[in-house]
């Protein structure tokens, strides 16, 4: 069997200084590290997101069909690993959510079903997309962050926590921010962060930072004694709730006083007072008395109610 893409579905991302390196890892240049963390050039835009710890998988449009692939580029349906075959099943069950992919494109993300080096108490679905890649002129071209955001909303899937957009930030600050927010429900320390540098309307390079002490495959059966699963097919993908904002916050333990009209960020798609809020990121004037509906299947789910 040949690889459908004739190669890997996703390459490796180089490390920033002081990032924990694996046996085959490599680092960015000194100049690239400077751009990410200290001093950007005019026109640079730097997006920093939490790095998730799972298995890199993708859904590709090949000859008109949707094909789930693992990172190495092999079809997940025939993979020797159960969690990859699970990804194939999940992607096929949700194939209508990827209808927007054009020929030669693939959406790449982290498949978090099986714990690798980090355990998660997931409140969302186990596939977290972070890239759209297209095959153009015999090379892979990565979509810009804005294009990715505009198009990924059609999947109704959660994307990696955004630490910052705009200027350089230190890896210390970025990791601390991701750790404190713990957006995806990591039980262990958050693995790290990924920097995306865009310039003149294209993605110029990516870089990552992995925390010291991170152990790859820590929770694999051969290392831990048994497999650890963050998600299984009978897992509820998100919070199920219908009631007022005040009731919801009380249920999830956010009991801080709220003022009328507190502005918060909504990311994803939820239903408030029978009105769909479905922009990927927008500001909404919540009130404690608002009725809210959140389901465990599209189109309605909770992504973020902000910090009341």
| Tens digit of each residue's pLDDT (9 = 90 or more) over 20-77 | 998 889 999 999 999 999 999 999 999 999 999 999 999 999 999 999 999 999 999 9
Residue bearing the bigger pLDDT, 295 or 154: 154
Q: Is the pLDDT of residue 93 over 80?
A: yes
CA distances from 36 to 42, 275, 287 (A): 13, 40, 38
All structural domains of the chain with their residue ranges? 30-224, 241-294
| Of the candidate ranges 15-19, 42-46, 100-104, 134-138, the one whose mean pLDDT is the lowest | 134-138
Do 109 and 128 meet the contact criterion of CB atoms below 8 Å apart? yes
What is the number of residues in the chain?
308
Q: Which pLDDT tens digit goes with each residue over 231-252?
A: 988 765 444 445 555 565 555 4
Residue 206, beta-bridge partner list: 196
- With tokens 């051969």, the residue in question is 222
The reported pTM is: 0.78
The pLDDT-based confidence of 81 (bands split at 50, 70, 90) is very high
Taking the domain 30-224, which CATH number applies? 3.30.470.30
Residue 301 CB burial class (10 angstroms; 0-12, 13-18, ≥19) = buried
């Amino acid at each position: 069997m040949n690889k459908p893409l004739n190669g890997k579905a996703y390459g490796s991302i180089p490390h920033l200084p002081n990032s924990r390196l694996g046996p085959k890892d490599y680092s960015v240049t000194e100049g690239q590290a400077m751009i990410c963390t200290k001093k950007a050039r005019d026109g640079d835009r730097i997006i920093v997101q939490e790095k998730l710890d799972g298995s890199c998988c993708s859904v590709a449009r090949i000859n008109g069909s949707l094909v789930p692939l693992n990172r190495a580029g092999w079809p997940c349906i025939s993979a020797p690993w159960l969690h990859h075959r699970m990804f194939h099943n999940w992607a096929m069950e949700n194939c209508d959510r990827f209808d927007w992919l054009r020929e030669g494109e693939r959406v790449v993300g982290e498949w978090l079903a099986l714990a690798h080096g980090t355990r998660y108490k997931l409140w969302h679905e186990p596939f977290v997309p972070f890239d759209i890649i297209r095959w153009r002129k015999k090379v892979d071209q990565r979509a810009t962050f804005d294009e990715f955001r505009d198009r990924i909303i059609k999947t109704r899937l959660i994307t990696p926590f955004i630490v910052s957009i705009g200027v350089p930030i230190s890896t210390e600050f970025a990791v601390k921010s991701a750790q404190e927010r713990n957006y995806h429900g990591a039980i262990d320390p958050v693995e790290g962060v990924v920097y995306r540098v865009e310039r003149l309307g294209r993605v110029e390079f990516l870089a990552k930072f992995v925390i010291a002490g991170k152990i790859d495959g820590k929770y694999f059966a051969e290392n831990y004694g048994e497999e650890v699963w963050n998600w299984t097919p009978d897992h509820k993908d998100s919070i199920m709730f219908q009631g007022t904002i005040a009731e919801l916050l009380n249920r999830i333990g956010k009991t801080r006083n709220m003022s009328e009209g507190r502005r918060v960020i909504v990311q994803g798609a939820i239903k408030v007072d029978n009105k769909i809020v479905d922009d990927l990121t927008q500001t909404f004037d919540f009130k404690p008395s608002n009725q809210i509906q959140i389901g465990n299947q599209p189109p309605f789910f909770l992504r973020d109610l902000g910090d009341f």
